[in-house]
Amino acid sequence: MSNYDIKDSKLAEGGRRRIEWAEREMPVLRQIRERFLRERPLAGVRVSGCLHVTAETANLIKTLADGGADVVLTASNPLSTQDDVAASLVSHNEIPVFAIKGEDNVTYYKHLNAALDHKPHVTMDDGADLVSTLHKDRRDLLPQVIGGTEETTTGVIRLRAMAADGALEFPVIAVNDAMTKHFFDNRYGTGQSTLDGIIRATNMLLAGKVFVVAGYGWCGRGLASRARGLGANVIVTEVDPMPALEAVMDGFRVMPMEEAARIGDIFCTVTGDLNVIDKHHFEVMKDGAIVSNSGHFNVEINIPALDAMAVSKSLVRPFVEAYDLKDGRRIHILGEGRLINLASAEGHPASVMDMSFANQALGLEYMVKNGKKLERKVYSVPEEIDREIARIKLLAMGVAIDTLTDEQVRYLNSWQEGT
């Protein structure tokens, strides 16, 4: 096989071990793979995937391949590739992979286009870069695309904006909308893995620190809750009064970033928006402040503005860049402002990706079956898929639950019994 671009195929063996390790924590995907092997529902389907190239993703890709799909994979972020996993997919599974950790933006887009050269029937996206490039630069490929799937909040926002503009040319399933995705992945996955990333990068004690979380969506509340669980004093910033009020009721301090910037020790953005930490925030931060991002794109922190304010910068630890300002203060940016859980840690643990990727696999199967009947818009994962995934997951964890009795079902459907 020659059609790939990875760092070093000699890393394959280590990658295999990590893929197998992750597999142990992915019982839902395992069940799906077993059925796919029997039923081959994706036989002959060309899939181009643009996802973080991690051990968990490898298990998804292998599941699709076992279902009969002809898959290629490119990275959805220049910093998030696990090179040994990429090597194993190429060497052991003959999956073409285009992804090298730390690649520059030019290479990133070259890889994206290589994945599109595969002439996909279905796209699988994480941030909508693949779909966006397809619509901007490779419109010749559009006719044969049946549909796509999209992993993230950020990507879904972009796709909905495209659909609203009438610009989206095929249906996309918003995997992120599945409850078994965003309830678990965004909240529990992002919560733990973001702190994991920050701690690996800095080795700082969170207890006693003022930790500022920008955004109280599903990711933000996971992060806030886990930071508090590690002893930090958490401040939340928001633009929407509803989640802001929830944050207050959950016991957090809520204030504008302008104020939080003055007192925070560690900052992390999870908003999906840009310049959430901006020039005027850097201007008032304490000496030594740590600033990071766990939102999809590296636009949430205005690093160019900080760059312009700095007299010098230096890498003081891997993934920790110190910006020395004219007034003597030093501000630290983690992982170049890219999502810190992938930059300095290993991304979401396998057990959450299990459910996200079960949604990807089943969503993709659904798209293959039904895509031609669907409109050019963003669809949610069908509820029965979602609930089935939750059921299998509980079973795999050895957790039993109650079942409604006939009497209870009848009661819930009646309206005549009262006080």
**Closest distance of CB 177 from its own copies, Å:** 14
Nearer to its own copies, 2 or 249 (CB): 249
- Structure-token match 């181009």, residue found: 48
**Closest distance of CB 307 from its own copies, Å:** 18
Tokens of 339: 């999502």
**Closest distance of CB 416 from its own copies, Å:** 7
Nearer to its own copies, 321 or 365 (CB): 321
Q: Is 216 annotated for ligand binding?
A: yes
Q: Is 269 annotated for ligand binding?
A: no
Nearer to its own copies, 42 or 212 (CB): 212
Q: Say what angle helices 27-39 and 350-370 make with each other, to 10 degrees.
A: 30
Q: Is 54 annotated for ligand binding?
A: yes
**Closest distance of CB 116 from its own copies, Å:** 14
The C-alpha atoms of residue 372 and residue 359 are separated, in whole angstroms, by 20
CB atoms closer than 10 angstroms to residue 34: 12
Q: Is 348 annotated for ligand binding?
A: yes
- Structure-token match 């006080």, residue found: 419
Q: Is 94 annotated for ligand binding?
A: no
Q: DSSP letter string over 78-147? A: TT---HHHHHHHHHHH---EE--TT--HHHHHHHHHHHHTT--SEEEESSSHHHHHHHHH-GGGGGG--E
Nearer to its own copies, 122 or 353 (CB): 353
Nearer to its own copies, 328 or 415 (CB): 415
Q: Is 50 annotated for ligand binding?
A: no
**Closest distance of CB 45 from its own copies, Å:** 25
Q: Is 180 exposed, middle or buried (0-12, 13-18, 19+ CB in 10 A)?
A: buried
Name which of 199, 191, 245, 181 is nearest 390 in CA terms.
181
Nearer to its own copies, 2 or 203 (CB): 203
- Going from the C-alpha of 373 to that of each of 88, 168, 366, the distances in angstroms are 37, 15, 11
Q: Is 302 annotated for ligand binding?
A: no
Q: Is 58 exposed, middle or buried (0-12, 13-18, 19+ CB in 10 A)?
A: buried
Q: Is 341 annotated for ligand binding?
A: yes
Q: What is the dihedral of CA 231, 235, 240, 241, to 10 degrees?
A: 90
**Closest distance of CB 198 from its own copies, Å:** 11
Binding residues: 54, 126, 151-154, 181, 185-186, 215-222, 238, 294-296, 341, 348
Binding residues for substrate: 54, 126, 151, 181, 185
